[in-house]
Structure 1
Amino acid sequence: MMAESTTVFDLIRHGEPEGGPMYRGSRDDPLSTTGWQQMRAAITEADHWDAIVSSPMRRCVHFARELADRYQIHLHTDERLREINFGEWEGRTAEEVMASDGERLSRFWADPVGNSPPGGETTADFNRRVVESWHHWQQELAGTKILIVCHGGVIRMIVADTMNIPLEHAFSGLTTPYACRSRIQVNISDHGRFQSLVAHGRFDAIRT
Protein backbone atom coordinates (compact mmCIF):
# COMPACT_ATOMS: atom_id res chain seq x y z
CA MET A 1 0.00 0.00 0.00
CA MET A 2 1.41 3.40 -1.01
CA ALA A 3 1.89 6.07 1.65
CA GLU A 4 -0.47 8.95 0.94
CA SER A 5 0.85 12.50 0.90
CA THR A 6 -0.05 16.00 -0.25
CA THR A 7 2.82 18.31 -1.16
CA VAL A 8 2.33 21.98 -1.98
CA PHE A 9 4.87 23.87 -4.07
CA ASP A 10 4.92 27.64 -4.43
CA LEU A 11 7.04 28.76 -7.37
CA ILE A 12 8.34 32.30 -7.71
CA ARG A 13 10.34 33.77 -10.55
CA HIS A 14 13.20 36.09 -9.62
CA GLY A 15 12.68 39.85 -9.87
CA GLU A 16 14.33 42.20 -12.32
CA PRO A 17 18.12 41.67 -12.45
CA GLU A 18 20.70 44.40 -12.91
CA GLY A 19 20.77 45.31 -16.59
CA GLY A 20 17.02 44.95 -17.05
CA PRO A 21 15.12 42.60 -19.37
CA MET A 22 17.24 40.61 -21.82
CA TYR A 23 17.97 37.04 -22.87
CA ARG A 24 20.00 36.42 -19.72
CA GLY A 25 20.10 32.63 -19.46
CA SER A 26 23.36 31.55 -17.85
CA ARG A 27 24.55 35.11 -17.09
CA ASP A 28 24.75 35.38 -13.32
CA ASP A 29 23.52 38.94 -12.74
CA PRO A 30 22.24 39.88 -9.27
CA LEU A 31 18.86 41.46 -8.58
CA SER A 32 18.49 45.17 -9.15
CA THR A 33 17.02 47.43 -6.46
CA THR A 34 13.70 47.15 -8.30
CA GLY A 35 14.09 43.36 -8.40
CA TRP A 36 14.50 43.18 -4.62
CA GLN A 37 11.40 45.33 -4.19
CA GLN A 38 9.41 43.07 -6.54
CA MET A 39 10.42 39.93 -4.66
CA ARG A 40 9.73 41.32 -1.21
CA ALA A 41 6.35 42.66 -2.34
CA ALA A 42 5.37 39.20 -3.62
CA ILE A 43 5.68 37.64 -0.14
CA THR A 44 2.80 38.03 2.30
CA GLU A 45 2.42 37.65 6.06
CA ALA A 46 0.25 34.59 5.43
CA ASP A 47 3.07 32.73 3.66
CA HIS A 48 4.74 29.83 5.40
CA TRP A 49 6.96 27.04 4.11
CA ASP A 50 8.83 24.06 5.51
CA ALA A 51 11.78 24.46 3.14
CA ILE A 52 13.07 26.52 0.21
CA VAL A 53 14.66 25.17 -2.96
CA SER A 54 16.52 27.63 -5.18
CA SER A 55 18.45 27.94 -8.39
CA PRO A 56 22.06 28.71 -7.44
CA MET A 57 22.10 31.80 -9.66
CA ARG A 58 22.49 35.08 -7.75
CA ARG A 59 19.19 36.57 -8.95
CA CYS A 60 17.45 33.69 -7.16
CA VAL A 61 19.58 32.41 -4.31
CA HIS A 62 20.31 35.76 -2.63
CA PHE A 63 16.60 36.34 -2.04
CA ALA A 64 16.03 32.67 -1.17
CA ARG A 65 18.71 32.96 1.53
CA GLU A 66 17.08 36.08 2.95
CA LEU A 67 13.75 34.24 3.24
CA ALA A 68 15.32 31.09 4.70
CA ASP A 69 16.98 33.20 7.40
CA ARG A 70 13.72 35.04 8.10
CA TYR A 71 11.67 31.86 8.45
CA GLN A 72 14.50 29.80 9.98
CA ILE A 73 14.01 26.99 7.47
CA HIS A 74 16.41 24.93 5.38
CA LEU A 75 17.60 26.23 1.99
CA HIS A 76 18.48 23.72 -0.72
CA THR A 77 20.20 24.82 -3.95
CA ASP A 78 19.90 22.75 -7.11
CA GLU A 79 22.05 23.26 -10.23
CA ARG A 80 19.32 21.63 -12.32
CA LEU A 81 17.09 24.65 -11.69
CA ARG A 82 19.36 27.06 -13.60
CA GLU A 83 17.80 28.95 -16.49
CA ILE A 84 18.22 27.66 -20.06
CA ASN A 85 21.46 28.73 -21.75
CA PHE A 86 20.53 31.06 -24.62
CA GLY A 87 23.94 30.84 -26.29
CA GLU A 88 24.69 33.72 -28.66
CA TRP A 89 21.55 35.58 -27.59
CA GLU A 90 22.64 36.04 -23.99
CA GLY A 91 23.14 39.60 -22.85
CA ARG A 92 20.97 40.98 -25.65
CA THR A 93 17.42 42.34 -25.51
CA ALA A 94 14.57 40.74 -27.43
CA GLU A 95 14.58 43.76 -29.77
CA GLU A 96 18.30 43.38 -30.46
CA VAL A 97 18.00 39.67 -31.21
CA MET A 98 14.96 40.25 -33.40
CA ALA A 99 16.84 42.89 -35.39
CA SER A 100 19.90 40.73 -36.02
CA ASP A 101 18.56 37.17 -35.84
CA GLY A 102 14.80 37.55 -36.14
CA GLU A 103 14.13 34.50 -38.28
CA ARG A 104 15.85 32.09 -35.89
CA LEU A 105 14.21 33.78 -32.89
CA SER A 106 10.77 33.38 -34.45
CA ARG A 107 11.48 29.72 -35.19
CA PHE A 108 12.56 29.18 -31.58
CA TRP A 109 9.30 30.57 -30.17
CA ALA A 110 7.23 28.66 -32.73
CA ASP A 111 9.04 25.35 -32.12
CA PRO A 112 11.66 25.49 -29.33
CA VAL A 113 12.26 21.73 -29.55
CA GLY A 114 13.36 21.84 -33.17
CA ASN A 115 15.09 25.24 -33.02
CA SER A 116 17.57 25.78 -30.19
CA PRO A 117 19.23 29.17 -29.57
CA PRO A 118 22.50 29.30 -31.58
CA GLY A 119 25.26 27.91 -29.40
CA GLY A 120 22.80 27.38 -26.56
CA GLU A 121 21.15 24.53 -24.70
CA THR A 122 18.54 22.38 -26.40
CA THR A 123 15.02 22.62 -25.04
CA ALA A 124 14.96 18.83 -24.62
CA ASP A 125 18.10 18.87 -22.45
CA PHE A 126 16.79 21.83 -20.45
CA ASN A 127 13.44 20.15 -19.88
CA ARG A 128 15.10 16.88 -18.89
CA ARG A 129 17.18 18.42 -16.09
CA VAL A 130 14.37 20.62 -14.75
CA VAL A 131 11.84 17.78 -14.65
CA GLU A 132 14.42 15.51 -13.02
CA SER A 133 14.83 18.11 -10.28
CA TRP A 134 11.07 18.65 -10.01
CA HIS A 135 10.38 14.96 -9.45
CA HIS A 136 13.33 14.64 -7.05
CA TRP A 137 11.98 17.32 -4.70
CA GLN A 138 8.49 15.85 -4.84
CA GLN A 139 9.95 12.67 -3.35
CA GLU A 140 12.55 14.26 -1.08
CA LEU A 141 10.14 16.73 0.56
CA ALA A 142 6.86 14.82 0.23
CA GLY A 143 4.08 15.93 2.54
CA THR A 144 5.49 19.42 3.15
CA LYS A 145 5.07 22.94 1.79
CA ILE A 146 7.98 24.19 -0.32
CA LEU A 147 8.96 27.43 -2.03
CA ILE A 148 10.99 27.13 -5.25
CA VAL A 149 12.84 30.30 -6.30
CA CYS A 150 13.78 30.00 -9.94
CA HIS A 151 13.48 31.33 -13.50
CA GLY A 152 10.79 31.91 -16.09
CA GLY A 153 11.93 29.03 -18.27
CA VAL A 154 12.12 26.67 -15.30
CA ILE A 155 8.56 27.54 -14.26
CA ARG A 156 7.39 26.88 -17.82
CA MET A 157 8.98 23.41 -17.78
CA ILE A 158 7.43 22.55 -14.39
CA VAL A 159 3.97 23.76 -15.40
CA ALA A 160 4.25 21.88 -18.70
CA ASP A 161 5.04 18.68 -16.79
CA THR A 162 2.20 19.31 -14.35
CA MET A 163 -0.39 19.96 -17.07
CA ASN A 164 0.96 17.62 -19.76
CA ILE A 165 1.59 20.54 -22.12
CA PRO A 166 3.60 19.44 -25.18
CA LEU A 167 7.16 20.73 -24.97
CA GLU A 168 6.70 22.48 -28.33
CA HIS A 169 4.21 24.84 -26.63
CA ALA A 170 5.83 25.13 -23.21
CA PHE A 171 7.59 28.45 -23.83
CA SER A 172 4.89 30.33 -25.71
CA GLY A 173 1.96 28.95 -23.71
CA LEU A 174 2.67 30.67 -20.38
CA THR A 175 3.72 34.17 -19.35
CA THR A 176 6.02 34.44 -16.32
CA PRO A 177 6.67 38.09 -15.40
CA TYR A 178 9.19 39.09 -12.75
CA ALA A 179 8.23 37.86 -9.25
CA CYS A 180 5.30 35.91 -10.70
CA ARG A 181 4.00 33.22 -8.37
CA SER A 182 2.41 29.84 -9.04
CA ARG A 183 1.09 27.07 -6.80
CA ILE A 184 1.14 23.38 -7.65
CA GLN A 185 -0.28 20.60 -5.49
CA VAL A 186 1.00 17.03 -5.75
CA ASN A 187 -1.14 14.23 -4.31
CA ILE A 188 0.19 10.68 -3.97
CA SER A 189 -2.12 7.81 -3.09
CA ASP A 190 -2.93 4.24 -4.07
CA HIS A 191 -4.49 5.71 -7.18
CA GLY A 192 -1.17 7.18 -8.31
CA ARG A 193 0.49 10.60 -8.44
CA PHE A 194 -1.61 13.59 -9.43
CA GLN A 195 -0.25 17.08 -10.08
CA SER A 196 -2.50 20.11 -10.38
CA LEU A 197 -1.86 23.80 -11.02
CA VAL A 198 -3.80 25.62 -8.30
CA ALA A 199 -2.94 29.20 -9.29
CA HIS A 200 -0.61 31.18 -11.52
CA GLY A 201 0.05 34.88 -11.11
CA ARG A 202 -3.08 35.51 -9.00
CA PHE A 203 -1.86 36.60 -5.60
CA ASP A 204 -5.31 36.55 -4.05
CA ALA A 205 -5.61 32.87 -4.95
CA ILE A 206 -2.30 31.77 -3.49
CA ARG A 207 -2.05 33.62 -0.20
CA THR A 208 -3.73 30.94 1.89
Structure 2
Amino acid sequence: MTTIYLARHGQTEWNVTGKMQGWGNGELTESGIRDAHSLGNRLQDISIDVIYSSTSKRAYQTAELIAAERTAPIIKDDRLREMSFGDWEGRLREEIEIEFATEYKAFWETPHLYERNSGELFADVAKRAEEIYKHIIAKHPSGTILIVSHSIFLKILTAYLRNLSLDKLFTQTYLGNASLTKIHVTEGIPEFIFEGDRSHCEE
Protein backbone atom coordinates (compact mmCIF):
# COMPACT_ATOMS: atom_id res chain seq x y z
CA MET A 1 0.00 0.00 0.00
CA THR A 2 1.08 3.55 -0.74
CA THR A 3 -0.11 6.40 1.45
CA ILE A 4 -0.36 9.73 -0.34
CA TYR A 5 -0.81 13.07 1.40
CA LEU A 6 -1.90 15.98 -0.78
CA ALA A 7 -1.21 19.48 0.53
CA ARG A 8 -2.13 22.81 -1.00
CA HIS A 9 0.42 25.61 -0.63
CA GLY A 10 0.04 28.17 2.14
CA GLN A 11 -1.85 31.42 1.71
CA THR A 12 -0.22 33.98 -0.59
CA GLU A 13 -0.56 37.73 -1.04
CA TRP A 14 -2.40 37.07 -4.30
CA ASN A 15 -4.86 34.79 -2.51
CA VAL A 16 -5.65 37.64 -0.14
CA THR A 17 -6.08 40.26 -2.87
CA GLY A 18 -8.09 37.94 -5.15
CA LYS A 19 -5.61 37.67 -8.01
CA MET A 20 -5.41 34.67 -10.33
CA GLN A 21 -2.04 32.95 -9.87
CA GLY A 22 -1.57 29.94 -12.12
CA TRP A 23 2.04 29.92 -13.25
CA GLY A 24 2.51 33.36 -11.71
CA ASN A 25 3.36 33.60 -8.04
CA GLY A 26 2.32 35.61 -5.01
CA GLU A 27 4.61 35.44 -1.97
CA LEU A 28 3.50 33.47 1.08
CA THR A 29 1.87 35.63 3.75
CA GLU A 30 2.78 35.39 7.43
CA SER A 31 -0.38 33.34 7.89
CA GLY A 32 0.64 31.06 5.01
CA ILE A 33 4.04 30.49 6.58
CA ARG A 34 2.51 29.74 10.01
CA ASP A 35 0.02 27.29 8.51
CA ALA A 36 2.76 25.48 6.59
CA HIS A 37 4.74 25.13 9.84
CA SER A 38 1.57 23.86 11.58
CA LEU A 39 1.06 21.30 8.83
CA GLY A 40 4.64 20.18 9.28
CA ASN A 41 4.02 19.78 13.01
CA ARG A 42 0.88 17.76 12.31
CA LEU A 43 2.92 15.36 10.17
CA GLN A 44 6.00 15.28 12.40
CA ASP A 45 5.38 11.75 13.72
CA ILE A 46 4.67 10.34 10.26
CA SER A 47 7.57 8.89 8.32
CA ILE A 48 7.49 10.47 4.86
CA ASP A 49 9.72 8.83 2.27
CA VAL A 50 9.71 11.58 -0.34
CA ILE A 51 8.09 14.95 -0.98
CA TYR A 52 7.01 15.95 -4.48
CA SER A 53 6.38 19.63 -5.11
CA SER A 54 5.28 21.96 -7.84
CA THR A 55 8.15 24.09 -9.12
CA SER A 56 6.20 27.27 -8.30
CA LYS A 57 7.82 29.20 -5.46
CA ARG A 58 4.75 29.26 -3.20
CA ALA A 59 4.44 25.47 -3.34
CA TYR A 60 8.15 24.70 -3.02
CA GLN A 61 8.51 27.04 -0.04
CA THR A 62 5.50 25.39 1.59
CA ALA A 63 7.12 21.99 1.01
CA GLU A 64 10.34 23.19 2.64
CA LEU A 65 8.46 24.56 5.66
CA ILE A 66 6.56 21.29 6.07
CA ALA A 67 9.76 19.27 5.69
CA ALA A 68 11.66 21.29 8.30
CA GLU A 69 14.45 19.01 9.60
CA ARG A 70 13.30 15.89 7.75
CA THR A 71 15.77 14.00 5.60
CA ALA A 72 13.13 13.13 2.96
CA PRO A 73 14.15 14.57 -0.42
CA ILE A 74 12.01 17.25 -2.07
CA ILE A 75 11.56 16.57 -5.78
CA LYS A 76 10.29 19.49 -7.87
CA ASP A 77 8.26 18.67 -10.96
CA ASP A 78 6.67 21.07 -13.46
CA ARG A 79 3.77 18.68 -13.93
CA LEU A 80 2.56 19.60 -10.43
CA ARG A 81 2.20 23.30 -11.28
CA GLU A 82 -1.16 25.02 -11.16
CA MET A 83 -3.22 25.41 -14.32
CA SER A 84 -1.84 28.21 -16.49
CA PHE A 85 -4.38 31.04 -16.74
CA GLY A 86 -2.54 32.83 -19.52
CA ASP A 87 -3.25 36.56 -19.64
CA TRP A 88 -5.54 36.29 -16.60
CA GLU A 89 -2.58 35.71 -14.31
CA GLY A 90 -1.86 38.49 -11.85
CA ARG A 91 -5.25 40.08 -12.55
CA LEU A 92 -8.10 40.49 -10.07
CA ARG A 93 -10.88 37.92 -10.37
CA GLU A 94 -13.54 40.66 -10.27
CA GLU A 95 -11.94 42.40 -13.26
CA ILE A 96 -11.72 39.16 -15.22
CA GLU A 97 -15.36 38.36 -14.45
CA ILE A 98 -16.41 41.68 -15.99
CA GLU A 99 -14.10 41.69 -19.01
CA PHE A 100 -14.37 37.98 -19.86
CA ALA A 101 -17.85 37.22 -18.50
CA THR A 102 -18.64 34.22 -20.72
CA GLU A 103 -15.24 32.54 -20.35
CA TYR A 104 -15.07 33.18 -16.61
CA LYS A 105 -18.54 31.70 -16.09
CA ALA A 106 -17.57 28.63 -18.12
CA PHE A 107 -14.35 28.27 -16.12
CA TRP A 108 -16.21 27.80 -12.84
CA GLU A 109 -19.54 26.34 -13.95
CA THR A 110 -18.79 24.21 -17.02
CA PRO A 111 -15.04 23.52 -16.92
CA HIS A 112 -15.39 20.74 -19.52
CA LEU A 113 -16.62 23.37 -22.02
CA TYR A 114 -14.15 26.13 -21.07
CA GLU A 115 -12.11 27.35 -24.04
CA ARG A 116 -9.53 30.11 -24.39
CA ASN A 117 -6.51 30.79 -26.59
CA SER A 118 -4.44 31.89 -23.60
CA GLY A 119 -3.22 29.50 -20.93
CA GLU A 120 -4.22 25.87 -20.46
CA LEU A 121 -7.52 24.03 -20.75
CA PHE A 122 -8.71 21.74 -17.96
CA ALA A 123 -8.02 18.73 -20.19
CA ASP A 124 -4.38 19.82 -20.53
CA VAL A 125 -3.96 19.82 -16.76
CA ALA A 126 -5.81 16.50 -16.44
CA LYS A 127 -3.30 14.94 -18.82
CA ARG A 128 -0.27 15.98 -16.77
CA ALA A 129 -2.03 15.14 -13.49
CA GLU A 130 -2.59 11.57 -14.70
CA GLU A 131 0.97 11.39 -15.98
CA ILE A 132 2.66 12.52 -12.76
CA TYR A 133 0.38 10.36 -10.60
CA LYS A 134 1.21 7.22 -12.58
CA HIS A 135 4.89 8.14 -12.43
CA ILE A 136 4.83 8.54 -8.64
CA ILE A 137 2.84 5.35 -8.02
CA ALA A 138 5.13 3.33 -10.31
CA LYS A 139 8.17 4.69 -8.50
CA HIS A 140 6.69 4.16 -5.02
CA PRO A 141 4.53 1.00 -4.90
CA SER A 142 4.66 1.29 -1.11
CA GLY A 143 5.59 3.88 1.49
CA THR A 144 4.36 7.38 2.29
CA ILE A 145 4.44 10.28 -0.17
CA LEU A 146 3.64 13.97 0.29
CA ILE A 147 2.60 16.01 -2.75
CA VAL A 148 2.50 19.82 -2.45
CA SER A 149 0.61 21.56 -5.20
CA HIS A 150 -2.28 23.93 -6.01
CA SER A 151 -6.05 24.05 -5.63
CA ILE A 152 -7.26 23.43 -9.18
CA PHE A 153 -4.48 20.99 -10.00
CA LEU A 154 -5.30 18.98 -6.87
CA LYS A 155 -9.01 19.02 -7.70
CA ILE A 156 -8.24 17.68 -11.16
CA LEU A 157 -6.00 15.01 -9.65
CA THR A 158 -8.64 13.89 -7.14
CA ALA A 159 -11.27 13.90 -9.89
CA TYR A 160 -9.03 11.55 -11.87
CA LEU A 161 -8.65 9.27 -8.84
CA ARG A 162 -12.43 9.21 -8.40
CA ASN A 163 -13.01 8.70 -12.12
CA LEU A 164 -15.07 11.91 -12.14
CA SER A 165 -15.62 13.76 -15.40
CA LEU A 166 -14.47 17.37 -15.61
CA ASP A 167 -18.03 18.72 -15.48
CA LYS A 168 -18.16 17.45 -11.86
CA LEU A 169 -14.79 18.99 -10.97
CA PHE A 170 -16.04 21.68 -8.60
CA THR A 171 -18.56 19.45 -6.83
CA GLN A 172 -15.68 18.06 -4.77
CA THR A 173 -14.56 19.23 -1.33
CA TYR A 174 -13.01 22.70 -1.29
CA LEU A 175 -9.25 22.61 -0.72
CA GLY A 176 -8.21 25.63 1.32
CA ASN A 177 -4.68 26.92 1.72
CA ALA A 178 -2.39 24.49 3.59
CA SER A 179 -5.19 21.88 3.61
CA LEU A 180 -4.36 18.20 3.85
CA THR A 181 -5.88 15.20 2.08
CA LYS A 182 -4.96 11.58 2.84
CA ILE A 183 -5.31 8.72 0.36
CA HIS A 184 -4.47 5.02 0.61
CA VAL A 185 -3.67 3.31 -2.68
CA THR A 186 -3.95 -0.50 -2.50
CA GLU A 187 -3.34 -2.54 -5.64
CA GLY A 188 -4.01 0.56 -7.71
CA ILE A 189 -7.29 1.42 -5.96
CA PRO A 190 -7.37 4.82 -4.17
CA GLU A 191 -9.34 5.26 -0.95
CA PHE A 192 -9.87 8.75 0.45
CA ILE A 193 -9.33 8.78 4.23
CA PHE A 194 -10.00 12.51 4.66
CA GLU A 195 -9.98 15.52 2.38
CA GLY A 196 -9.28 19.23 2.58
CA ASP A 197 -8.66 19.16 6.33
CA ARG A 198 -7.37 22.39 7.89
CA SER A 199 -7.75 21.55 11.58
CA HIS A 200 -4.05 22.33 12.06
CA CYS A 201 -4.42 25.89 10.71
CA GLU A 202 -5.07 29.13 12.52
CA GLU A 203 -8.42 30.60 11.55
TM-score normalised by L of structure 2: 0.88
> CA offsets per residue over residues 126-173 of structure 1, 9 Å max, x none?
110111001110111220101101100121011101111111221453
User: Mind listing any 5+ residue stretches in structure 1 that lack a counterpart?
Assistant: 1-5
How far apart in 1 are the matches of 2:171 and 2:122? 13
Q: Which amino acid aligns with 1:40?
A: H
1:7 aligns with 2:7: no
User: Once the 2 structures are TM-superposed, how far is the Cα of residue 115 of structure 1 from its aligned partner?
Assistant: 1.1
Contact 2:33 2:65 (8 Å CA) reproduced? no
Q: Percent same amino acid among aligned pairs?
A: 27
Superposition map of 1:128-167 within 5 A: 128-167=127-166
Match of 1:201 in 2: 196
Instruction: Identify the structure with the greater helix proportion.
Output: 2
Contact 1:162 1:197 (8 Å CA) reproduced? no
Cα RMSD of the aligned pairs, angstroms, is 1.8
User: Mind listing any 5+ residue stretches in structure 2 that lack a counterpart?
Assistant: none
Superposition map of 1:50-65 within 5 A: 50-65=49-64
Aligned residues: 195
Q: Which amino acid aligns with 1:121?
A: E
Contact 1:185 1:195 (8 Å CA) reproduced? yes
TM-score normalised by L of structure 1: 0.86
User: Once the 2 structures are TM-superposed, how far is the Cα of residue 28 of structure 1 from its aligned partner?
Assistant: 2.8
1:109 is paired with a residue of what secondary structure? helix
1:27 aligns with 2:24: yes
How far apart in 1 are the matches of 2:2 and 2:73? 16
Match of 1:84 in 2: 83
